[in-house]
């Protein structure tokens, strides 16, 4: 039963035993590293805005030459 508590205290960054003060990390350094990863992940959205732009352009490009033939 005591072992279950022990396994919970592992730093997700480096795997070392966690320090109470920096839970769930082992040190401030690892806390900073993890925070940096989160920030980078939320700032860099890989290619999503470009994809929507391309799709919109595609639908616009396929519709314009209607009025010309009508005249
Ligand atoms: Zn660590």
pTM listed for this prediction: 0.47
Q: How far is the CA of 2 from the centre of ligand 1 (A)?
A: 22
Residue ranges per structural domain of the chain: 8-42
Does 11 show up as a binding residue in the annotation? Answer: yes
pLDDT (average), residues 14-25: 94
Q: Determine the straight-line distance between the first and last CA of the chain, rounded to whole angstroms.
A: 84
Does 13 show up as a binding residue in the annotation? Answer: no
Q: Check: CB of residue 16 under 8 Å from CB of residue 9.
A: no
Does 69 show up as a binding residue in the annotation? Answer: no
In tens, the pLDDT along 22-65 reads 999 999 999 999 999 988 887 665 565 555 555 556 655 666 66
Q: How far is the CA of 4 from the centre of ligand 1 (A)?
A: 20
Does 26 show up as a binding residue in the annotation? Answer: yes
Three-state SS sequence of the chain = CHHHHHHCCECCCCCCECCHHHCCCCCHHHHHHHHHHHHHHHHCCCCHHHHHHHHHHHHHHCCCCCHHHHC
Instruction: Tell the CATH topology of 8-42.
Output: Erythroid Transcription Factor GATA-1; Chain A (3.30.50)
Which pLDDT value is given to residue 9?
85
């Amino acid at each position: 039963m005591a072992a279950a508590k022990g396994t919970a205290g592992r730093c997700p960054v480096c795997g070392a035993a966690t320090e109470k003060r920096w839970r769930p990390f082992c040190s401030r350094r690892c806390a900073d590293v993890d925070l940096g990863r989160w920030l980078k992940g939320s700032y860099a959205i890989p290619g999503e805005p470009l994809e929507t732009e391309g799709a919109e352009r595609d639908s616009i490009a396929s519709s314009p030459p209607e009025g010309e033939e009508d005249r």
